[in-house]
Structure 1
């Protein structure tokens, strides 16, 4: 204290003295704040006690006048709403009829498709860009599919009781890579036999003359020749794409397997022509039967 008084007397205050004065003032302010906080706590406690006392009195009054507790409407406080839980003793509850449906049903039953008039085109990646103008024609492309894969997909449709007016199947390009000609023929037969149970008209789309190895070309040519003879013997129409694509390099892509845009257009045209021809033949048979009955 002597040093503080002495420094003040000569008109100079050192840094330590100023720090001591600042800390003393800060301690005083903290003490005042502590006192105010304690006062506010005591006031809030008294207010809460008075509120609880008033609520208890109201509860006792309601109990004295009512034998059954009255339901209190939810009180809205700002954006919050107090919700009253339902009692477990409630026996009469309003029953609401809930309608359920299979959300995958549009995949199995397309509303715009008539099962009697709808045609199906199913095959490997060769059919990727096939577009047929004939109404109600579904094109299902299965990249890399072989005959057993086509059969498995047809089985799914058969189990769903799907029927088609006509079915076109394009298969064989991936099967010849297995180098098992007899097994390939058996698998192809099974596919067309299954398709015959789903439609009265089954059409075989013959393979394309690919530009790959000589062995692959030879095997596809052999398969095409066998299909051209086997299909008519089993009431299956055969589309000879080999003749349409042979020698026309612009109809295949650079990979030498898949059809180009022009090739896809030609393949689509061959399939559409076959569908129209079958439709005309069916109508002619119906007219002939009608005339015979008359």
Structure 2
């Protein structure tokens, strides 16, 4: 390729990359104007609603959001460790006190309730650790004082009698199946109150 051909090629390339400008109109009407998009007419006014004429004061500002019923608690010995009962009105919490006797479990009730207005039902499960002492008359008296506090009695005896698969190897604590059965039985009682 000759020098002449190279210059023509370069010139062609240079010419094609030149920028062209369009001159501004001579009848300019002031500062630059940004074109506006066409918008549809809005049917609603964009004003905020009027403020209410009064205020509502609540003790807990989120309490109107909570429309659930009363909660329940299960208080007992290590037998209730894996109990997960349900209630149709609220949530159910389980409190486990291993080695506790009837009066020990009953003594925990005021501390757990402690003015909590959400708790509407208390389920107590006790007596297993009292049986070892073999003081039947004392146990009867303790149960009587416990039941006189207006408790609904849930009978679990017939569910577990002579059904060894419902117990762990120690023969005392419920197995996984036994804990599920105990949970269901307590749940049925909670749904009736």
Q: TM-score range by the shorter chain?
A: 0.5 to 0.7
Q: CA deviation at 1:138?
A: 1.2
Q: Is the CA contact (8 Å cut-off) linking 1:115 and 1:165 kept in structure 2?
A: no
TM-score by length of 2: 0.58
Per-residue CA deviations over 1:10-54 (Å, capped at 9, x if unaligned) read xxxxxxxxxxxxxxxxxxxxxxxxxxxxxxxxxxxxxxxxxxxxx
Per-residue CA deviations over 1:184-236 (Å, capped at 9, x if unaligned) read 12222333445x4xxxxx3xxxxxxxxxxxxxxxxxxxxxxxxxxxxxxxxx3
Q: How many residues align?
A: 126
Q: Structure 1: where are the runs of 5+ without partners?
A: 1-112, 197-201, 203-235, 279-294
Structure 2 residue 116 is the aligned partner of structure 1 residue 162: yes
Structure 2 residue 168 is the aligned partner of structure 1 residue 243: no
Structure 2 residue corresponding to 1:267, chosen from 174, 182, 187: 182
Where do residues 141-290 of structure 1 align in structure 2 (5 Å cutoff)?
141-157=96-112, 160-163=114-117, 164-194=119-149, 196=150, 202=151, 236=152, 238-278=153-193
Q: Structure 2: where are the runs of 5+ without partners?
A: 1-65
Q: CA deviation at 1:115?
A: 10
Q: CA deviation at 1:239?
A: 2.0
Q: Is the CA contact (8 Å cut-off) linking 1:252 and 1:260 kept in structure 2?
A: yes
Q: Is the CA contact (8 Å cut-off) linking 1:151 and 1:190 kept in structure 2?
A: no
Match of 1:137? 92
Q: CA deviation at 1:176?
A: 1.3
Would the alpha carbon gap of residues 193 and 156 (structure 1) be closer, same or farther in structure 2, given more than 3 Å must change?
farther
Provide the rounded CA distance (Å) in 2 between the counterparts of 1:168 and 1:125: 14
Q: Which is greater in Rg?
A: 1
Provide the rounded CA distance (Å) in 1 between the counterparts of 2:135 and 2:173: 22
Match of 1:128? 81
Q: CA deviation at 1:156?
A: 1.9
Provide the rounded CA distance (Å) in 1 between the counterparts of 2:67 and 2:104: 25
Provide the rounded CA distance (Å) in 2 between the counterparts of 1:151 and 1:139: 14
Larger relative helix fraction: 1
Per-residue CA deviations over 1:158-190 (Å, capped at 9, x if unaligned) read 5x2235311111111111111111111222233
TM-score by length of 1: 0.39
Match of 1:98? none
Q: CA deviation at 1:141?
A: 0.8
Considering only aligned residues, what root-mean-square deviation do their CA atoms show, in Å? 2.4
Q: Is the CA contact (8 Å cut-off) linking 2:78 and 2:99 kept in structure 1?
A: yes
